[in-house]
Amino acid sequence: MSYNYYYNIDKPGKANPAAGGDIKDKIIFMLKKDVASFPVECDGTLRRFDPIAMKAGTHAITLEVTANTIKFEENAVGEVGSDNTQWEIVAEFEHPGSELEINDFITFWCSKDLYMGREYCSDPSKRRLSGTPCAPLQIQASSSEDKEKSTNKFTVKSVKPGPKSAFLTNDFPLSGSGHAVAADATEVDVANGSGTYQLADGSAAPAAITGFTNTTDGMVVTLKGSGGDYPSTISIGGDFILKGGNNWTALENTSITFDVVESGAGAFTYVEKSRITP
């Protein structure tokens, strides 16, 4: 399926769309070696609908930085007139102080292949992911202390040119990330919109999930498995369309992603987009 690039682009509808300072002050990092499944492009765009799946025992982390020091750049690399233009990503920011934790972070995370994420204050659903398996990023750092201040300066750069930063539909895989779903729920409330929903182990028996509530057409919903003694299940039939007619069980480190399609007035069908099984 090809993507239609022939559309007009107006200014963003929000007030003062060119204003800076909208990036949240917590930058997200994931080691390349910890990622079990990296989301692929959708129809040639920068959208990524599949979740980032981490290997067992690992997760993304956040680094809190000084908000007015954050700067992201994406610079085109390639000869004029060529068809192989790619992008070099450069990010800069600072973290104050000289505590043990930031020094350990510098020691462990510098010079390792990684991916970087950022979120936005004005739009919680806007998530950008920088780096790919073929073009990861690395951190460079410097620390200084004097009578005026103590700070750590970070530069994060592409190891080699690659795609521009992607737009994620799902949450970043932080520890405990995903909207919590109550144990034994047979309908998942997705009032928080597109994103990841963390299932819980059943209290006495597996919960058979039959649908979602508070849905809107076009949503993309990912369910993360809980594992445990009584993981939830989704079976073929009803409002769910499962690939290959294969049922799904919410085992640990698994996930399943659905497109939400309005199939009639007030009626919705949930079409499996992908699933991750370690």
pLDDT of residue 107: 95
What token pair was written down for 7? 């559309």
pLDDT tens digits, residue range 241-267?
999 999 999 998 888 999 999 998 889
pLDDT at position 1 is: 46
- CA-CA-CA-CA torsion sign (238, 241, 247, 253): negative
> DSSP secondary structure string, 179-203?
EE--TT-SEEE-TT-SEEEE----S
What's the whole-model pTM score? 0.71
pLDDT at 154: 97
Give tens-digit pLDDT for 107-123: 999 999 999 999 999 88
SS3 105: helix
On whether both 94 and 222 belong to a single domain, the answer is: no
- Tell me: do 138 and 230 sit in the same domain: no
Q: Which range marks the domain in which residue 55 is found?
A: 26-168
Domain boundary among 148, 168, 188: 168
Q: Are residues 130 and 249 in the same domain?
A: no
- pLDDT, one tens digit per residue, over 128-179 is 999 999 999 999 999 999 998 999 999 999 999 999 999 998 889 887 667 8
The verdict on 104 and 225 lying in the same domain is: no
pLDDT band at residue 2 under the 50/70/90 scheme: low
Q: For residues 143 and 43, state if they share a domain.
A: yes
| One-letter identity of residue 179 | H
- Same domain, yes or no: 244 and 268: yes
Residue at which a domain ends, from 168, 202, 221: 168
- The answer on 185 and 162 residing in a single domain is no
The pLDDT value given to residue 122: 86
pLDDT tens digits, one per residue of 220-245: 898 989 999 999 999 998 999 999 99
pLDDT for 81: 66
Together in a domain, 162 and 186: no
Looking at the fold, whether 104 and 224 belong to one and the same domain comes out as: no
Query: Domain boundary at 168, 187, 215, which?
Result: 168
The encoded tokens of residue 248 equal: 């799904």
Q: Which residue is listed with tokens 């930058």?
A: 27
What distance in Å separates the CA atoms of residue 262 and residue 67, rounded to the nearest whole number? 40
Average pLDDT for residues 58-73, to the nearest whole number? 94
* Residue 150 and residue 223 in one domain: no
**Cα R_g (the chain), whole angstroms:** 21
Mean pLDDT is lowest, of 7-16, 95-104, 189-198, for: 7-16
Tell me how far CA of residue 173 lies from CA of 4, 156, 255, 273, 275, in angstroms.
Answer: 31, 20, 12, 19, 16
Mean pLDDT in the chain?
89
Strands 166-168 and 127-130: antiparallel
What local confidence, expressed as pLDDT, does residue 19 receive? 63
Residue 45 has pLDDT above 60, yes or no: yes
Cα–Cα distance, 27 to 174 (Å, whole number): 12
CA neighbor of 174 nearest in space, from 249, 63, 272:
63
Spatial CA neighbour of 144 closest among 94, 110, 91, 71: 94
Q: What is the mean pLDDT of residues 30-40?
A: 91
Residue 7 included in any domain: no
Whether residue 12 lies inside any domain: the answer is no
For position 187, which CATH number holds? 2.60.120
Please report where in the chains the tokens 């934790």 appear, as a residue.
101
Residue 150 shares a structural domain with residue 32 = yes
- Count the domains in the chain: 2
- What local confidence, expressed as pLDDT, does residue 106 receive? 96
The pLDDT value given to residue 187 = 96
The answer to whether residue 88 is domain-embedded is yes
Residue 31 has pLDDT above 80, yes or no: yes
Q: Are residues 131 and 194 in the same domain?
A: no
